[in-house]
Amino acid sequence: MEEYVSQLKITGNPYTYIVSTYGTGSGASAKIVEKYLDGLTNAKFNLQMPDTWTPSFDLSTPEKIAKFTQNTEKDLQTIITNMVNKNDGNFVHKEMPIAITKLSYKLYDKSSKTDNFTVEDTCRSCGLCVKSCPINALELKDDKPAWIKEKCLICLRCLHRCPEFSIQYKDKTKNHGQYTHPEIKKFD
């Protein structure tokens, strides 16, 4: 995220806003992005979605997913209305203090090691995990996913997009399910 935002060039005086999603806690992504925009931000919003960090959070049933999404549509409409009306302000809910976010970066670094991932025998070598990885951290070797980078973004897209749920993170994800937004074609 920081790499992308650091390359943005904003000219003129456009209405500039930040919209981020969060699961359990919103972190400090809006604050971090705002730092790169040098005070050019008119509004900050966030939207609760399922927490896809399944090493900790259980998304194994529709009811568990619904706990995260019960207000999503209503909140999204509120965000859209504020953006259309060009309302200024901080509309972020559950914003985490930056000090706690910095602490979590240390945990993130340890968690991002790709040797935390395993592939079960149910893998059918479709390659969707490889296509899904935003940083090309894995490839198919001998018809199985193999991580070729020491670290990744730990977005878990490979795990959530696998049609056989063959990719696991340590021993923590097997019973916690997968989540892909219903409007995304799961097996593309």
Give the pTM: 0.82
For the stretch 174-184, what's the b/e string if a residue is b when 16 or more beta carbons lie within 10 angstroms of its beta carbon?
eebbbbeeeee
129 lies in the same domain as 67: no
Q: For residue 185, is it within any domain? A: no
Cα within 13 Å of Cα(72), Cβ side: 15
11 lies in the same domain as 71: yes
Q: Give the number of other Cβ atoms within 10 Å of residue 185's Cβ.
A: 8
76 lies in the same domain as 139: no
pLDDT higher at 173 or 103: 173
129 lies in the same domain as 97: no
Q: For residue 177, is it within any domain? A: no
Gap between the Cα atoms of 40 and 12, Å rounded: 10
52 lies in the same domain as 135: no
Q: For residue 179, is it within any domain? A: no
86 lies in the same domain as 159: no
pLDDT tens per residue, range 112-160: 899 999 999 999 999 999 999 999 999 999 999 999 999 999 999 999 9
Asked if 25 contacts 95 with a C-beta cutoff of 8 angstroms, the reply is: no
pLDDT category at 82 given cuts 50, 70, 90 is very high
pLDDT at 29 over 90: no
% residues pLDDT > 90 (the chain): 59
Number of domains in the chain: 2
pLDDT higher at 27 or 74: 74
23 lies in the same domain as 105: yes
Q: For residue 98, is it within any domain? A: yes
Which pLDDT value is given to residue 169?
95
Which pLDDT value is given to residue 10?
83
Q: How far is CA 70 from CA 54, 92, 183, 185, in A?
A: 19, 18, 17, 22
124 lies in the same domain as 99: no
151 CB-near residues (< 8 Å, 6+ apart): 109, 112, 113, 114, 137
87 lies in the same domain as 32: yes
178 CB-near residues (< 8 Å, 6+ apart): 54, 59, 159, 160, 162, 165
Nearest alpha carbon to residue 152 among 110, 104, 121, 124:
110
Q: For residue 186, is it within any domain? A: no
Q: For residue 183, is it within any domain? A: no
Nearest alpha carbon to residue 21 among 78, 72, 61, 88:
72
49 is in which domain, residue-wise?
2-110
136 lies in the same domain as 65: no
CATH of the domain at 121: 3.30.70.20
Q: For residue 180, is it within any domain? A: no
22 lies in the same domain as 84: yes
